[in-house]
Structure 1
Amino acid sequence: MVFNISGPYYCGNICCSLEEKKVRAFILGLDGATFDVFEEWVDAGKLPNFRKLFEESTRGHLITTIPPLTPSAWSSFMTGKNPGKHGVLDFYELDEEMNVKVSYRKARKATTIWKYFSMKGYRVISIHVPFTYPPEPVNGIMISGFLTPSLNSSFIYPPEMRDEFIKNFPDYRFAENTRFSERREDQEAFREEIFENMKLRMKVADYMMEKYPWDLFMVTFMGIDHAQHWYWRFYDKDSPYYDPEGAKSLGDTIFKAYSLIDDYLGDLLARLGEDTYFCIMSDHGFGRFYKQVFVNNWLKERGFIKFKRDVRTLVKRSFYEVGLDTKKISELVFKSGLGKLWAKFSSESKASLASGFGITFKDVDWRRTEAYSFGYFGPVFVNLEGRFPFGSVKHEDYEKVREKIIEAMLELEDPERGKKIVNKVWKKEEIYNGPFVDRFPDVVVAMDDFAYTSSTFPFPSKRLFATPFTYKSGEHRMNGVFIFKGPGVKRNYFIERPSIMDITPTLMQLFRIPIPEDMDGRVLKEIFE
């Protein structure tokens, strides 16, 4: 896949030697950024540095992984491969005993851009890129990102830098300490912490840029993602959760998150100069959120899931019948102001606590169960014999069961809106390929273009539809952001449908790093003059 060209890097028809110029690249990761939201502010002149950047760069809607999830998307960016080749799909996974486990970086089984560059002697610095915990050894510095537990963890490579980092940034945090709730004081506090974290990340990036040498530098901000997840209700008048009173003081939250990046852009681009390749990317887009769909309840209603008949399970089901379920208890926790305390529990601890009073996969009679759902957007696994220790579906019946699930899901309707919500269904082999596909769900769905999600807990409630107890009002979409600027790059050019997997091979080509044949991404040749 490497072009037959001379020189250490390629930029269209421009070939340069090491003596003439040294190539560097800077990637600004904006988790959740979407042109659908901020392009109108650019056009109106409210984000002047973005406007100037548009005129000097190539841009396009970056197509992300299916479904549009942070772990799979960032992993596909870092590896240039589809999830079937790197093994990461969701925030959580189930072990062989059906216990919920957090997916960390070690679940990814493919070489990353950081490693490719390091192996060729290039110096890399990576700051807060999601799904990099624990940090991998690199020729440079890596500060892990989203899902890093705290400063007490092994968050930095090389580990000898830990004391220096904490000394200079003692208040650094990987996520907000406060939690959004229905209380206005929590909404205001969460908003301020989003902005504080963004500013702190900028200080860290500036410090690392100035003090340490680098050839490839990346810093990622989660602030836009978090603002859109929780403050969409104050921004979008057509949102089912629109809050006109709150919009008076909080309606500009999303704009301010983009504006903070715009302010940073001006100084950053001036320091990088014209000879540095500069890329802005996001892992997915955003749109309004509607509801949670508890897909396992739907599967149970249609006979795909069967419960055990023991006393423990029968008692739990009786609690659900009177409204004492996982979702109700979670709502009470958040409304009582204990959200901060709940947030300190690990996902495994939350799952363990929930299993004590909530219906979980431990209550399922697997020998009589044909399928189950597990995942953020409600994908479905066929309980295939041989694939799972508890498998019940024979191989000759696999396709028949899967087709039955797909046919039924296409009829799933939100009664409150009076519309069918499943607008796209994929069989896993239609969107994934590679050695890890067998572990992936057999049916992947888009419910109203991902405006509906499911739940990590298998049976949070006896209901099928519910409002989220996390108070989210915005949710992921497929179209992220791609902006690319540098020597020989087309100016004010719009590229059609670049993939999130294309960024790594394009950068590797610029640095004359051989591109493995099994990479799914391609070099974006058309963005160069």
Structure 2
Amino acid sequence: MRDNVRSFVEIAAEVFQLRGPVYEFGSFLVEGSGADANLRTAFPGRKFIGCDMRPGPGVDRIEDLSCLQLPDDTAQTIVCVDTLEHVFNAQQAVSEMLRVLAPGGVLVVAVPMHFRVHDYPADYWRFTPACIDRLLSPLAGTVVVWQGLENYPHTVMGVGCKAPVTGEFARGANQLIDRFQEELRRCEADRPLAEKLKDMTLGWIRGKGERRRKREYHKARFMLDVPVHRDSLAPFTKLAGGTYDVLMPLAEAGVMPNLARFMQTAALAELQSTEPAITPAAWTTFQTGCDPLQHGVVDFRYLDHTTGEVLYNAAPHVEQPTLFDHVAASGAASVSINLPMTSADCASPGSIIVGGLDLPSAAVAMRPYPKLAQRLREKDVDYNLRVIWKHRPESYEALSTGVADTIDAFRSRTEAALAADSMVDWRLMVVQFQNLDSLQHRCWHLLGLDQSGGGSPEWVAKTREAFAGLDRCLGELFELADRHGAGVTVLSDHGFGEFREKICVSELLRRNGFLQQGLSSRARYSAAQAVWRFKKWVHKRLKPGFNTARLVRHPEMLLPIDWRRSAATCLHGNLAGLVYLNTPERFGRGGLTGQSQRERVSAEIAEMFLDVTHPDTGESLFADAYCTVDRIDRDPIEAMLPEVIAIPSPGFHTRQKFDQTGRIMRGDPSLTGTHRAEGVLMLGVPGATLGERHQASLRDVAPTILHLLGLPAGPEMQGTILDGMFADSGYGVGTGTERVSGPVIRRQAPMVGSSTPSELITRRLRELGYLE
């Protein structure tokens, strides 16, 4: 018996508290198998009957697995490991084990896949994860595990429970996944030094496939299908860009009747967003209860000075524990649909975390959950991450198509949530409707608001159909919460208002002497761009399917500046001026070497932002500007944050590229609306405080939700519990200030999405107006 199989059985016996009598089918101890092959020692104190088709060591009873002589409902526990491949009628053998298994009993199986042909007495089959899942499908709850390569594992294992299934099985399934992953990590770390050196030495000789097989030998993947058993619950409905200025009039006008009814019984608050009020920063604050400078995400991108590349932020980049980590630490699972800055790689076992717009595609987001994807296909639901509103609609037909597609997108998120509800014993559910944001970016002028410039009644009515479609989805989620006796939170991470113009940050830096250009710098920039385009052309033709976003693109290729004489630069950011000092630590060059010089230049740049005014109206272009080092207790370079951050005044965007005409201000006819700091928070729980508009910050949401779930907030959270919005609701057990005593561990995964950004993400963000 292989060590990983023995460990799997031992962990299953412990976390599921498997009862006797225990029947092992395939118990014959072959010569030289060792003590670990005797599974009796994994079930101390329980009646254990070893069964095999031939007498010998370890065999108490002779049985033909494809035609058992045992009566129905006999065994509380059945173990069959490294045996099914030797049974010619394997499907019949599984049917027989299910017949013999008692109600509430548990079956544990394991089979090899990538393994040599062996006897004992003959070897007939290899089983895929899908096959084991199908064989165990008559059981009421199952966990399928495969170890090794995703598409060619060396071992497939499974645990199933015959109806009825209790909540203890669901909790045991989560513990099994956690414990088995821990065991695999320990095995990898404890490999003998000689074996590691051998792999390193021979790695260059082995083929790519063999190297990958070695690298992923101790990696496991899981499929979980467990019925739902709930206690305290908290579903979230997240409206990207929702604002009271839109939602209140539409609710009162009868366009959104479900939301109107909900608002009558919910505590309402004006929610102050993050600075800057941009998607990745805001949703990370929602998850962590920390402000952007604390969690380190201030834009879709960031400069990694260790590689000299501008990369995309992704969930693994966040160090602080999230709401989902805190729920997992309590032994419960979560469901999250379409939320940015989330990843299935960072999810707890048993949870369903389907990421959002910062993933390459819906296929990538759904890949860890094939059963969820299959259920959506069966319901003819097209779940995708396509951008609907790429431009301002120029015709009524274009508007009608966009509205219909938006309603379909809202519908797909709701259907995904309903399907996940039937699959997961969740305690926290989050459903995010991102398309509301892009709709308002392009159609703000068509919402029929006095300040938006209006639109024909026909166009306004058509645009509002999207909000009516959203309201129908909200109604279904409200009904879901009612069925489970759950509280509901409706939240928008930021508000919305009229778009005005874009501010060229690089031009501001140039005019004030912080950034220098020259003919040679323009020539080098043009040459670098030409080389870059040639590299992409070559890779696309010589390596079909190659993701050219993997090619290194250094900062010199982003702006035509003189890197020797420039003191600072802006490399990214469309909702904030993000300025990096040109220091040796950042760029391997630069004239700012002394600490006092850096502090002086940073302060001067921040002052520049606060002093700059609109060339036509004379109004201030920036509401705030500050030196990052003044607000955090670590080096901005170490934190991979810019030295200066400037927040534009309401209605203005920023851009890092130079305008060809040398202007500071630039219009964008494709945008009519943009983000505002004032978002929405509606808390629908028993005891909600009605009749007043509360004030809240986005960082307060995470500790408040944990409190309502009866969980303490993390010590790293900067927000406070909004106990003024509800009386004792019967959900929480905290005092309003309680903090967890020990740290909750952040579930981390390799930063694949961050270090190798996809062209699909780049294209999507450009179509949404977040990149140029």
Determine whether 1:428 maps to 2:628: yes
Structure 1 residue 44 displacement after superposition? 4.3
Q: SS of 1:365's equivalent?
A: coil
1:441 is matched with which residue? 642
Q: SS of 2:412's equivalent?
A: helix
Cα distance between partner residues in 2 of 1:61 and 1:126: 24
1:221 is matched with which residue? 433
Q: SS of 2:311's equivalent?
A: strand
1:509 is matched with which residue? 707
8 Å CA contact 1:378–1:445 kept in 2: the answer is yes
Residues 513 and 188 (structure 1), Cα distance of their counterparts in 2 relative to 1, 3 Å cut:
same
Cα distance between partner residues in 2 of 1:84 and 1:516: 17
Q: SS of 1:386's equivalent?
A: helix
Cα distance between partner residues in 2 of 1:164 and 1:86: 36
Determine whether 1:366 maps to 2:567: no
Residues 44 and 311 (structure 1), Cα distance of their counterparts in 2 relative to 1, 3 Å cut:
closer
Question: RMSD between aligned alpha carbons?
Answer: 3.3
Identity over aligned pairs, percent? 24
2:276 is matched with which residue? 67
Structure 1 residue 53 displacement after superposition? 1.7
8 Å CA contact 2:407–2:470 kept in 1: the answer is no
Residues 267 and 438 (structure 1), Cα distance of their counterparts in 2 relative to 1, 3 Å cut:
closer
Answer with 170-179 or 137-146: which moved more.
170-179
Cα distance between partner residues in 2 of 1:191 and 1:203: 18
1:142 to 347, 353, 364: 353
Structure 1 residue 419 displacement after superposition? 3.0
Cα distance between partner residues in 2 of 1:345 and 1:238: 47
Determine whether 1:39 maps to 2:39: no
Residues 480 and 382 (structure 1), Cα distance of their counterparts in 2 relative to 1, 3 Å cut:
same
Residues 175 and 228 (structure 1), Cα distance of their counterparts in 2 relative to 1, 3 Å cut:
same
Structure 1 residue 301 displacement after superposition? 1.9
2:663 to 460, 463, 471: 463
Determine whether 1:255 maps to 2:464: yes
Structure 1 residue 293 displacement after superposition? 1.2
1:105 to 300, 315, 330: 315
Determine whether 1:283 maps to 2:493: yes
Structure 1 residue 507 displacement after superposition? 1.8
Structure 1 residue 512 displacement after superposition? 2.9
Residue pairs, 1:145-184, within 5 angstroms = 145-158=356-369, 161-166=372-377, 168=379, 171-176=382-387, 179-181=390-392, 183-184=394-395
Cα distance between partner residues in 2 of 1:83 and 1:213: 31
2:506 is matched with which residue? 296
Structure 1 residue 204 displacement after superposition? 1.8
Q: SS of 2:654's equivalent?
A: coil
Residues 275 and 486 (structure 1), Cα distance of their counterparts in 2 relative to 1, 3 Å cut:
farther
Structure 1 residue 484 displacement after superposition? 0.6
Q: SS of 2:231's equivalent?
A: coil
Cα distance between partner residues in 1 of 2:468 and 2:702: 27
Cα distance between partner residues in 1 of 2:265 and 2:514: 55
2:222 is matched with which residue? none
Structure 1 residue 182 displacement after superposition? 5.9
1:487 to 686, 710, 716: 686
List, as ranges, runs of 4+ consecutive aligned residues in structure 1 with deviation greater than 6 Å. Answer: 344-347, 349-352, 434-437
Residue pairs, 1:184-223, within 5 angstroms = 184=395, 185-223=397-435
Q: SS of 2:599's equivalent?
A: helix
Structure 1 residue 280 displacement after superposition? 0.7
Cα distance between partner residues in 2 of 1:350 and 1:447: 33
8 Å CA contact 1:58–1:490 kept in 2: the answer is yes
8 Å CA contact 2:393–2:442 kept in 1: the answer is no
Structure 1 residue 286 displacement after superposition? 0.7
Cα distance between partner residues in 2 of 1:521 and 1:253: 40
Q: SS of 1:265's equivalent?
A: helix
2:673 to 466, 474, 477: 474
Answer with 480-489 or 135-144: which moved more.
135-144
Cα distance between partner residues in 2 of 1:102 and 1:85: 18
Residues 391 and 237 (structure 1), Cα distance of their counterparts in 2 relative to 1, 3 Å cut:
farther
Cα distance between partner residues in 2 of 1:271 and 1:193: 24
Structure 1 residue 45 displacement after superposition? 4.6
Residues 106 and 209 (structure 1), Cα distance of their counterparts in 2 relative to 1, 3 Å cut:
same
Cα distance between partner residues in 2 of 1:205 and 1:260: 16
Over residues 204-229 of structure 1, what are the superposed CA-to-partner deviations in whole Å (9 max), with x where a residue is unaligned?
22222244432211110012211211
1:88 to 291, 294, 297: 297
Q: How many pairs align?
A: 472
2:602 to 393, 399, 402: 402
8 Å CA contact 2:255–2:467 kept in 1: the answer is no
Structure 1 residue 290 displacement after superposition? 0.8
8 Å CA contact 2:685–2:726 kept in 1: the answer is no
Over residues 286-334 of structure 1, what are the superposed CA-to-partner deviations in whole Å (9 max), with x where a residue is unaligned?
11111111110121122111235437527859x9xxxxxxxxxxxxxxx
Cα distance between partner residues in 2 of 1:298 and 1:370: 13
Structure 1 residue 24 displacement after superposition? 0.9
TM-score, normalization: structure 2?
0.56
Letter in 2 for 1:523: I
Cα distance between partner residues in 2 of 1:86 and 1:55: 35
1:119 to 307, 329, 334: 329
Cα distance between partner residues in 1 of 2:606 and 2:521: 33
Residues 431 and 370 (structure 1), Cα distance of their counterparts in 2 relative to 1, 3 Å cut:
same
Q: SS of 2:436's equivalent?
A: helix
Letter in 1 for 2:609: M
Structure 1 residue 278 displacement after superposition? 0.7
Residue pairs, 1:348-367, within 5 angstroms = 348=549, 360-361=557-558, 363-367=560-564
5+ long unaligned stretches in structure 2:
1-229, 530-544, 728-772
Cα distance between partner residues in 1 of 2:462 and 2:632: 37
Residues 412 and 59 (structure 1), Cα distance of their counterparts in 2 relative to 1, 3 Å cut:
same
Residues 143 and 135 (structure 1), Cα distance of their counterparts in 2 relative to 1, 3 Å cut:
farther
8 Å CA contact 2:389–2:439 kept in 1: the answer is no
TM-score, normalization: structure 1?
0.79
Residues 420 and 63 (structure 1), Cα distance of their counterparts in 2 relative to 1, 3 Å cut:
closer
Residues 231 and 158 (structure 1), Cα distance of their counterparts in 2 relative to 1, 3 Å cut:
same
Letter in 2 for 1:33: G
Letter in 2 for 1:120: S
Residues 312 and 430 (structure 1), Cα distance of their counterparts in 2 relative to 1, 3 Å cut:
closer
Structure 1 residue 128 displacement after superposition? 0.6
Bigger radius of gyration among the two: 2
Determine whether 1:379 maps to 2:578: yes
Residues 26 and 434 (structure 1), Cα distance of their counterparts in 2 relative to 1, 3 Å cut:
farther
Structure 1 residue 169 displacement after superposition? 5.3
Residues 50 and 154 (structure 1), Cα distance of their counterparts in 2 relative to 1, 3 Å cut:
closer
